[in-house]
């Protein structure tokens, strides 16, 4: 057995040295002396790991290539503690960690592990960590300091390898969040809005049939752009119409040599949050049905306005945030869906809903149907598909997340001058 040791670069090419590899220490006692029964059992289970890994990887199309008759060879199994086992694996040199992590769920299932993580160890060698408990179980806390500028970073969460995901408000061009009741949408939204609320050049518009997101905003500069009355569909339509007007005006008023508005106090970045958007459409459909409208009804108006915002508002400095239990095709047409580039799916019952937002997520969908609250699949520009834990605001002895959200909004949102509030 040999080990390839990287030795830096020469003329822009990687140079490596090949050295003979000593037999992994765990194999020695077996050869030298009679191992105790316990030791033998342990060894057998470690060899079983190696065998299972080799067989499952051999069964994955695209991986079982070009390494003689065996696609990979497990060089060493390193038991760490009850929660982790590491495999040091020799693979064809052109294989990347990604090739394996793409099949992580399948490899993990075959290994009897909860999840796997894959890292490069050396060219042609990978370190595969078998995790016996879910690294996303622990909550991720949000810093209590809100952002101060539209170029600061919004924290979306962290993945199984502890990598964090951040985006600036400017980069967050149209976000869609789906998830069943209790899956973590509201907590995520509390976190998102409380990060945004302290930025002077951000305006938060909302259509919020629940009324919970908007309540702490009463008396702030945002309130005139927020509607919470679920019985009054016209108020929501009116809000959307005002936002589309603002968009049209901003684009019309672009100075020469500019194709996007410049964000400033006078021209804030506008977040348009549509909480439980399918619910709004359904309520509008009921009104239409009562009015016996076939066309030109409220549903059509809402979809038309939201469609325009999705398609045209980026250059006008506006960002859509759509929240839904499921990204249903009947409510969100494929064109509008296509404009949402940041997609977050908390637990949803049906695999089809995952595939609706993450076309490559079929493999993950089944497992994700039972994910704990706060665990989401994320697709974004430059992020293929990641399972992340989204942050929460909760502090163990400081009451529920909503109270923290309330405090952050009332503390940091710009308030109306007193006389205007009266």
Ligand X SMILES: Nc1ncnc2c1ncn2[C@@H]1O[C@H](COP(=O)(O)OP(=O)(O)O)[C@@H](O)[C@H]1O
Q: Give the residues lining the site for ligand X (CB under 6 A).
A: 139, 179, 181-187, 373-374, 390, 392
Torsion sign, CA atoms 192, 376, 320, 302: negative
Least distance to Mg ion, CB of residue 186, Å:
3
Nearer to Mg ion, 127 or 212 (CB): 212
Helix, strand, or coil (residue 157): strand
Share in percent of the chain as helix, strand, coil (round to 5): 35, 25, 40
CB of 187 to ligand X, least distance (A): 3
- Classify residue 336 as left (phi > 0), alpha (psi -120 to 50) or beta: alpha
What's phi and psi for 358, nearest 5 deg? -125, 90
Instruction: Report DSSP state, residue 146.
Output: P
Residue 143, classed as helix, strand or coil, is coil
Tell me the C-alpha to C-alpha distance, in Å, between residue 175 and each of 31, 227, 243: 59, 20, 17
Nearer to ligand X, 247 or 375 (CB): 375
Nearer to ligand X, 87 or 273 (CB): 273
What residues from 145 to 204 belong to the interface with Mg ion (CB under 5 A)? 185-186
Query: Which one of Mg ion, ligand X, none interacts with residue 179, CB within 5 to 8 A by kind?
Result: ligand X
Of the two residues 76 and 178, which places its CB atom closer to ligand X in the complex? 178
Distances (CA, A) of 145 to 34, 166, 195, 314: 61, 15, 8, 27
CB of 239 to ligand X, least distance (A): 22
- Residue 25 DSSP symbol: G
- Of 298 and 326, which has the nearer Cβ to ligand X? 326
Residue nearest to Mg ion (CB): 186
Min CB(324)–Mg ion separation in Å: 11
| CB 97, CB 120: distance < 8 Å | yes
Q: Mask of contacts with Mg ion, 208-247, x by CB under 5 A? A: ----------------------------------------
Nearer to ligand X, 29 or 139 (CB): 139
371 belongs to the binding site for Mg ion (CB under 5 A): no
- Main-chain phi, psi angles of 194, to 5 degrees: -75, -20
Q: Categorise residue 206: left if φ over 0, alpha if ψ from -120 to 50, beta otherwise.
A: beta
- In angstroms, what is the minimal distance from the CB of 363 to ligand X? 23
Give which of ligand X, Mg ion, none residue 200 binds (C-beta under 5 to 8 Å, depending on kind): none
Least distance CB 185 / Mg ion (angstroms): 5
Binding residues (CB under 5 A) for Mg ion: these are 185-186
């Amino acid at each position: 057995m040999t080990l390839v040791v990287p030795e830096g670069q020469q003329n822009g090419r990687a140079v490596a040295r090949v050295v003979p590899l000593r037999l992994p220490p765990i194999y020695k006692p077996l050869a030298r002396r009679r191992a105790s029964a316990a030791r033998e059992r342990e060894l057998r289970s470690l060899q079983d790991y190696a065998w299972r890994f080799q067989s499952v990887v051999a069964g994955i199309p695209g991986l079982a290539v070009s390494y003689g008759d065996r696609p990979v060879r497990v060089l060493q199994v390193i038991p760490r503690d009850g929660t982790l086992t590491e495999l040091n694996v020799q693979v064809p040199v052109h294989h990347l960690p990604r090739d394996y992590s793409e099949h992580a769920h399948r490899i993990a299932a075959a290994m009897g592990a909860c999840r796997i993580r894959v890292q490069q160890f050396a060219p042609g060698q990978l370190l595969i960590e078998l995790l016996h408990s879910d690294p996303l179980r622990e909550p991720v806390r949000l810093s209590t300091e809100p952002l101060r500028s539209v170029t600061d970073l919004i924290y979306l969460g962290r993945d199984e390898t502890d990598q964090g995901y951040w985006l600036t408000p400017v980069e967050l061009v149209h976000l869609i969040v789906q998830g069943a009741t209790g899956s973590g949408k509201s907590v995520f939204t509390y976190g998102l809005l409380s990060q945004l609320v302290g930025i002077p050049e951000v305006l938060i518009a909302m259509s919020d049939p629940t009324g919970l997101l908007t309540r702490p905003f009463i008396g702030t500069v945002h309130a005139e752009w927020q509607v919470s009355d679920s019985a009054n569909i016209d108020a929501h339509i009116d809000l959307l119409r005002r936002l589309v007007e603002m968009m049209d005006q901003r684009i019309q008023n672009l100075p020469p040599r500019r194709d996007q508005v410049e964000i400033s106090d006078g021209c804030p970045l506008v977040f348009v949050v549509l909480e439980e958007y399918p619910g709004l459409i359904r309520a509008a459909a009921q009104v239409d049905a009562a009015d016996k409208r076939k066309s030109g009804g409220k549903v059509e108006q809402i979809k038309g306005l939201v469609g325009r915002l999705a398609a045209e508002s980026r250059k006008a400095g506006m960002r859509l945030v759509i929240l839904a239990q499921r990204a249903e095709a009947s409510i969100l047409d494929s064109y509008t869906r296509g404009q949402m580039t940041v997609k977050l799916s908390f637990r949803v019952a049906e695999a089809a809903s995952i595939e609706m937002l993450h076309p490559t997520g079929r493999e993950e969908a089944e497992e994700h149907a039972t994910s704990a609250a706060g665990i989401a699949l994320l697709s974004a520009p430059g992020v293929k598909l990641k399972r992340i834990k989204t942050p929460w605001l909760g502090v163990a002895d400081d009451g529920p997340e909503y109270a923290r959200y309330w405090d952050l909004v009332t503390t940091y949102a710009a308030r109306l001058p007193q006389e205007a509030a009266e």
